[in-house]
Amino acid sequence: MQQTSKRVLAIAMGVAAAAVAGVAQADTSDSRIALSNNYAGNSWRQAMLRSWEKVGSAAVADGVVAAADAFTTAENQVTEQAAQIQNLILQGYDAIVINAASPDALNGAVQEACDAGITVVSFDGIVTAPCAWRIAVDFKQMGKDEVLYLADRMPQGGNLLEIRGLAGVFVDDEISAGIHEGAAENPQFTVVGSVHGDWAQDVSQKAVAGILPSLPQIDAVVTQGGDGYGAAQAFRAAGRSTPLIVMGNRHDELTWWKEQKDETGYETMSVSIAPGVSTLALWVAQQVLDGQDVPKDLVVPFLRIDQDNLEENLANTEPGGVANVEYTLDDAKAVIAEAM
């Protein structure tokens, strides 16, 4: 991912390096941007909010925007987030950046914002309202890549346990669809069990512990992030051999992986979307407010960690956090230029 970040910055310098500060500060210094976030109950969401606060605060201090405030609903409920968006409309924000509880159930509130002249940018949990912008990774491909990795490592196949994310959320559905598509194309693998871990290690551990007694031998665990370490603990508590577990870039997962690698040569891979994608959404909103031509759909790469760069990525990940990349305005201009 460091290579990807450098590539993005290089593109930015080549195709989007014209006078970043002057125009942006002159045209958006009075603009107020709000983040509407539907859930904060795991390490990825906490890291996402910290990245927003860090980059947003700097943007305010530098006079690029007047405000970059974050709001998180108490529960992952569409009705609560819709009410939150309506409240942000009444508060007069110029742009609302959304990590959405549903791709379509919030479209009414999103349309209200658009009708009020407010720029709406969704990321991670995107919305389908035509008036909104969308920033996402190819989550379906991310899930499929897990199975393709297993096919290389375990050509003989085996039984898979799937740990899903938060039920009803676009990201969960897409990653799961990719996993099952990959398994269908590699029939030597069979998904013999599936649980929801809510992208949280404690929830995942309990869910895996609950289903393990009913399962045959598990050869590998396919995941969505925040669940690998919990799965490992559940297998250990059950006295079962540890399968190959795909990790999700969390510090506890990477730490456990390194310990196993050092002791036994344990090998796996880790993949997730960088929490700092929230900062890309912030800059995209700023660029729209600045009058720039921005495509409605932008795609960013997911962050993958492999055996040979585990130590480097672990060293750069804070305890309790997630391997991360935060975006600059130059990076955002580069992503926009690539999409054009």
In this prediction, residue 136 has a pLDDT band, given cuts at 50, 70 and 90, of: confident
Domain membership of residue 181 as a residue range: 139-272
Share of the chain above pLDDT 70, in %: 92
85-105 confidence digits (pLDDT tens): 999 999 999 999 999 999 999
Average pLDDT over residues 240-258: 96
Looking at the structure, do residues 121 and 195 belong to the same domain, yes or no? no
Residue 6 has pLDDT above 90, yes or no: no
In this prediction, residue 39 has a pLDDT band, given cuts at 50, 70 and 90, of: confident
Residue bearing tokens 């676009």:
170
312 lies in some domain: no
Residue 4 has pLDDT above 70, yes or no: no
- List for the chain the helix, strand, coil content (%; round to 5): 50, 15, 35
In this prediction, residue 28 has a pLDDT band, given cuts at 50, 70 and 90, of: very high
Residue 140 has pLDDT above 60, yes or no: yes
Looking at the structure, do residues 63 and 170 belong to the same domain, yes or no? no
pLDDT given at position 41: 85
Residue 37 has pLDDT above 90, yes or no: yes
Looking at the structure, do residues 255 and 294 belong to the same domain, yes or no? no
pLDDT given at position 26: 42
Looking at the structure, do residues 233 and 115 belong to the same domain, yes or no? no
Looking at the structure, do residues 254 and 209 belong to the same domain, yes or no? yes
Looking at the structure, do residues 111 and 157 belong to the same domain, yes or no? no
Residue 248 has pLDDT above 90, yes or no: yes
In this prediction, residue 340 has a pLDDT band, given cuts at 50, 70 and 90, of: confident
56 lies in some domain: yes
Residue 9 has pLDDT above 70, yes or no: no
Looking at the structure, do residues 151 and 257 belong to the same domain, yes or no? yes
261-314 confidence digits (pLDDT tens): 999 999 999 999 999 999 999 999 999 999 999 999 999 989 999 999 999 999
Query: Which conformational region is residue 199 in: left (phi greater than 0), alpha (psi within -120 to 50 degrees), or beta?
Result: left
Residue 114 has pLDDT above 50, yes or no: yes
- Could you tell me which residues are beta bridge partners of residue 299? 136
CATH classification of the domain holding 163:
3.40.50.2300
In this prediction, residue 257 has a pLDDT band, given cuts at 50, 70 and 90, of: very high
Looking at the structure, do residues 23 and 131 belong to the same domain, yes or no? yes
Looking at the structure, do residues 158 and 245 belong to the same domain, yes or no? yes
In this prediction, residue 75 has a pLDDT band, given cuts at 50, 70 and 90, of: confident
Dig out the tokens for 26 from the structure.
């002159």
Looking at the structure, do residues 282 and 174 belong to the same domain, yes or no? no
Is there a contact between 250 and 319 (Cβ–Cβ < 8 Å)? Answer: no
Mean pLDDT across the chain, nearest whole number?
A: 91
295 lies in some domain: yes
Q: How many domains does the chain have?
A: 2
Average pLDDT over residues 55-65: 97
Dig out the tokens for 255 from the structure.
């730490």
d(CA 81, CA 78): 5
pLDDT given at position 2: 39
Work out the angle between the directed axes of helices 228-237 and 201-211 (0-180°, nearest 10).
Answer: 40
